[in-house]
C-alpha cells in the first residue's frame, strides 16, 4: 500500500474577494484522512478540469493545492489540463446571460502548471462543459497514448467535471472522479453530483477496482 502526503486546506469564508481566496489557500487543514486512488494497472491519464482563477471562490480555491499535490505524488501516463472560455456572442450569453472571454484568468492555475513541469502534458481548450468537446480532440489524444483509464479532478463537480466523466465513460474509458480533488462553489451542488457518480461506481471512493491509499492532511 502506498502512503503519500497531500496538502489540502480548510475553507470557511463565503466572499469571492481576492483576499478571501488567498486566505483560504493558506489555511491548513487540521485533520488528516486517507485518499483512495484506483489502481487497475491500466494506462491512465489525469484530467484537470477548469482549475482557473475565473471560477475560483473562497469555497473552492483550496482545490488548487489538492490537485497540485495529486499531480506531484500520483504517477500518470498523461496529464491533461482543460480550460474553459467563451465569447460574448456565444450560446452561453443567450441561454445563461454570461460570458467568459479568454484571458489570464481562464488558464490553468500557476501552482498546478508548476507541478506539471517535466510531465507528459496535454492542454485542451473548450467552450462547453465536457473536456471531450474541446480542442485538440481529447478522445484521439488519449487513444494515441494508449490510455484506457481516466481520473478526473477540478471544477465544478456538478457541472464540467461530471459532464467530462460521463463523456469519458461513453467514449470507452474506465472513469473515476477523485473526490478530494473535485470541488464546487456550494456543498449541496458538490454532494448531489458525487451522489450520482457514486451510484455508478465512478469515484475513487466507490471504485470496484483495486485501490492504493494516500494520506491527505
Q: What is the mean pLDDT of residues 77-86?
A: 98
Whether residue 104 is contained in a domain is answered as: yes
Whether residue 8 is contained in a domain is answered as: no
Whether residue 58 is contained in a domain is answered as: yes
Whether residue 215 is contained in a domain is answered as: no
Whether residue 25 is contained in a domain is answered as: no
Whether residue 12 is contained in a domain is answered as: no
Three-state SS for 99-143 is CECCCHHHCECHHHHHHHCCCCEEEEEECCCCHHHCECCHHHHHH
The residues, any chain, with a CB within 8 Å of residue 209's CB and separated by 6 or more, are: 38, 39, 40, 174
With cell 495529486, the residue in question is 70
Q: What is the mean pLDDT of residues 150-155?
A: 98
- CATH number of the domain within which 128 lies: 3.40.50.850
Q: Which helix (H) or strand (E) holds 214?
A: strand 211-216
The parent domain of residue 101 ranges over: 40-208
The predicted pLDDT at position 34 comes to 77
**Phi and psi angles of residue 175, each rounded to the nearest 5 degrees, phi first:** -130, 130
Q: What does DSSP assign to residue 28? A: B
Q: Looking at 1-10, 12-21, 116-125, 191-200, which range is the least confident one?
A: 1-10
The residues, any chain, with a CB within 8 Å of residue 106's CB and separated by 6 or more, are: 52, 53, 54, 83, 84, 85, 100
Q: What is the mean pLDDT of residues 149-178?
A: 98
Q: Which residue has the higher pLDDT, 125 or 217?
A: 125
> Is the distance from CB of 107 to CB of 83 less than 8 angstroms?
yes
> Is the distance from CB of 150 to CB of 175 less than 8 angstroms?
yes
80: nearest Cα among 17, 41, 28, 135:
135
DSSP letters spanning 63-107: HHHHHHHHHHHS--SEEEEEEE-B-TTSHHHHHHS--B-SSGGGS
Whether residue 92 is contained in a domain is answered as: yes
The predicted pLDDT at position 214 comes to 81
pTM: 0.86
**Phi and psi angles of residue 2, each rounded to the nearest 5 degrees, phi first:** -100, 130
Q: Angle 133-165-106 (CA atoms, 0-180°, nearest 5)? A: 55
The dihedral through the CA atoms of 197, 124, 150, 60 has a sign that is negative
Q: How many domains does the chain have?
A: 1
Q: What is the mean pLDDT of residues 5-29?
A: 41
Whether residue 100 is contained in a domain is answered as: yes
The predicted pLDDT at position 33 comes to 63
Amino acid at each position: 500500500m502506498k502512503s503519500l502526503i497531500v496538502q489540502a486546506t480548510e475553507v470557511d469564508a463565503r466572499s469571492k474577494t481576492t483576499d478571501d481566496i488567498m486566505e483560504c489557500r493558506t489555511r491548513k487543514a487540521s485533520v488528516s484522512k486517507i485518499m483512495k486512488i484506483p489502481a487497475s494497472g491500466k494506462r491512465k491519464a489525469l484530467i484537470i478540469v477548469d482549475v482557473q482563477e475565473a471560477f475560483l471562490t473562497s469555497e473552492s480555491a483550496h482545490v488548487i493545492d489538492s490537485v497540485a499535490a495529486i499531480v506531484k505524488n500520483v504517477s500518470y501516463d498523461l496529464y491533461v489540463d482543460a480550460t474553459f472560455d467563451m465569447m460574448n456572442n456565444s450560446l452561453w450569453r443567450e441561454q445563461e446571460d454570461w460570458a467568459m472571454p479568454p484571458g489570464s484568468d481562464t488558464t490553468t492555475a500557476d501552482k498546478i502548471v508548476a507541478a506539471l513541469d517535466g510531465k507528459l502534458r496535454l492542454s485542451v481548450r473548450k467552450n462547453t462543459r465536457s473536456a471531450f468537446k474541446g480542442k485538440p480532440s481529447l478522445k484521439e489524444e488519449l487513444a494515441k497514448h494508449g490510455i484506457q483509464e481516466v481520473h478526473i479532478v477540478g471544477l465544478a463537480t456538478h457541472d464540467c467535471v461530471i459532464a467530462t466523466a460521463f463523456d469519458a465513460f461513453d467514449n470507452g474509458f474506465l472513469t473515476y472522479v477523485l473526490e478530494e480533488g473535485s470541488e464546487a462553489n456550494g456543498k449541496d451542488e458538490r454532494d448531489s453530483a458525487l451522489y450520482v457518480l457514486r451510484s455508478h461506481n465512478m469515484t475513487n471512493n466507490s471504485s470496484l477496482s483495486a485501490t492504493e491509499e494516500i494520506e491527505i492532511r
